[in-house]
Structure 1
Amino acid sequence: MEVSVDRSLCEANAVCVGFAPEVFDLDDDENLVIGPVPDSEVERVSQAVQSCPKNALFTTG
């Protein structure tokens, strides 16, 4: 699974970080940083994508 972000929609609310901090983070400029998705995090990442308040996240693969 790969996760991408539509930066024109993302407001850095960090909801995704709350679901899967091992995959999502905010940098010093409050831009979303997405790391690799290990198999153990697929369920949490899926929940994060579904819970994004701006629908800025999407998955591929």
Structure 2
Amino acid sequence: MSMTISADLCTACGDCEPVCPTNAIIPRKGIYFIKADVCTECDGEFDMPQCMNVCTADSIVPLEA
């Protein structure tokens, strides 16, 4: 699976980008975007996705299949 960022809720603070261990988060058109093919949800490295852990806007959620 992968995480995704809701464009409607993202405040573009950038807090999520540096905590991503796979560098899956990139800025795009004023918001941040998670590359689904790179995101591992921090599986095997942390108990929960680090981006979701630091997002104060609650804009990061698991990508629905």
Q: TM-score, normalised to structure 2's length?
A: 0.68
Unaligned runs of 5+ in 2: none
Unaligned runs of 5+ in 1: none
Identity of counterpart residues, as a percentage?
Answer: 16
Contact kept, 8 Å, 2:5 with 2:33, in 1: the verdict is no
Give the distance between the partners of 1:30 and 1:60, measured in 2 at CA.
20
In structure 2, what is the equivalent of residue 26 of structure 1?
27
In structure 2, what is the equivalent of residue 3 of structure 1?
3
In structure 1, what is the equivalent of residue 53 of structure 2?
50
Q: Offset of 1:26 from its aligned partner? A: 0.7
SS at match of 2:49: helix
Give the distance between the partners of 2:30 and 2:17, measured in 1 at CA.
12
SS at match of 1:12: coil
Distance 1:7 1:18, change over 3 A: same
Pairwise CA RMSD of aligned residues? 2.4
How many pairs align?
58
In the TM superposition, what whole-angstrom CA distance separates every residue of 1:22-44 from its partner, at most 9, and x where no partner exists?
A: 110112x3221211214xx713x
